Homo-oligomer: A and B are copies of this chain.
Amino acid sequence: MAERNGNPTIKDVAKHCGVSIATVSAVLNRAAWVPAETRARIQQAIEQIGYRPNRLARSLKTRQSYSVGVIVSDITNPFFNDIVRNLSHVLYQHDRNLILCDSDHRFDLGASNFHMLLEKQVDAIVLIGDSVSAEELGAYLLRPQPVPVVAIERDYELDGVNKLLIDSERSAFEATQHLVEQGYDRIGMISGPQRGPGSGSYGQMQFERGYRRALEAAGLPYQDVLVAEGDFRYGGGQQAMRRLLALHTPPQAIFAANDMMALGAIQVAHEQRLHIPEDIAVVGYDDIPMAAQTLPPLTTLAVPRWEIAEAAADVLLAQLKDPSTHPPVRRMFTASLVVRASSVLPQAAAADGTPA
């Protein structure tokens, strides 16, 4: 009666109801022609037998795997794993799964993952961070019918790939401008890594450009020594801060390229008995949950992560449905400044806070 070996199949259901497998399939796919009575009978048999369709077989036939490949250069990065999380939720709502690969910042691994995903017939690919080299991706896109690809936080110079970027230049500009407005005129920056893993990620040069532009706009000089290289981690932020504070005339304000480094910088400031923001102001970037609760609370830029994940899913699904009418997009998202105590002098805050 039942299956001899593995799970029950559509055949078992069909036999059990005395219909053909085509009819069962019609019920599964909600074909209109099946009368309610038959439909109910088959549904019941499905329940009873505990039948679940084999999606592999379905995918083979329909040429849609209903899974999306995701390659992320480091899932441990809070920004990236939040994106992955959001992405997984959005995709879930569209009955799709996410096959996750962590490329560990290595292009060889990334390339290998990329092809593995294609062999698994993913419907689309999402690249987060610096996971796949431009050459590899470029070569793939030359193929007759590549799957939709969206890159997050990486500005490939390739047509045919969707890019979702955060306007880091603008972010850096706003952060710096905010510090200028607060009256600081010696403003330093803790950047991300300038070369090696992570440096290919979109933000780096943009950050510096925005920072420079804001200084220029304020008539302040750009000074090389005020830019210290970090590694996006807490420890890197500390080291960079130590270098900056050791300068002959250290900066009075710091813009860090992410919150983790900003927190490291704050810790070093505390260590050296400096008060924030009186002695030195700090602005971060990311708005991680901790940022609101540190001492002092951290001024930072909030990135619209949910929107980015949603946009990624939207673009992919649209292109899957009809590639011809949905050309690749390049969308820029803007982070919004969240002003907290780490960059606003108490008296200034009071002056701003009370209506004139």
Contacts and interface: CB of A to CB of B under 8 A. Distances in A.
Given A59-B56, A85-B75, A293-B235, A92 B120 contact: no
Contact of A118 (B52, B57, B119, B121): B52
A78 B76 contact: yes
Contacts of A75: 75, 81, 84-85, 88
Contacts of A81: 75-76, 81
Interface residues of A, number: 61
Contacts of A293: 234-235, 238, 264, 267
Contacts of A6: 63, 145
A57 B145 CA distance: 19
A101 B68 CA distance: 12
Interface in A259-273: 260, 264, 267, 270-271
Contacts of A99: 67, 97-100
Nearest to A101: B88
Contacts of A7: 145
Interface of A: 3, 6-7, 50, 52-57, 59-60, 63, 65, 67, 74-76, 78, 81-82, 84-85, 88-89, 92, 97-102, 104, 109, 112-113, 115-121, 143-145, 233-235, 238, 260, 264, 267, 270-271, 289-290, 292-295
Given A75-B88, A234-B290, 6 more contacts: A56-B120, A76-B81, A92-B101, A98-B100, A234-B293, A235-B290
Nearest 9 A-B pairs (CB), nearest first? A100-B100, A234-B290, A55-B119, A88-B102, A75-B85, A55-B120, A235-B293, A81-B81, A56-B121
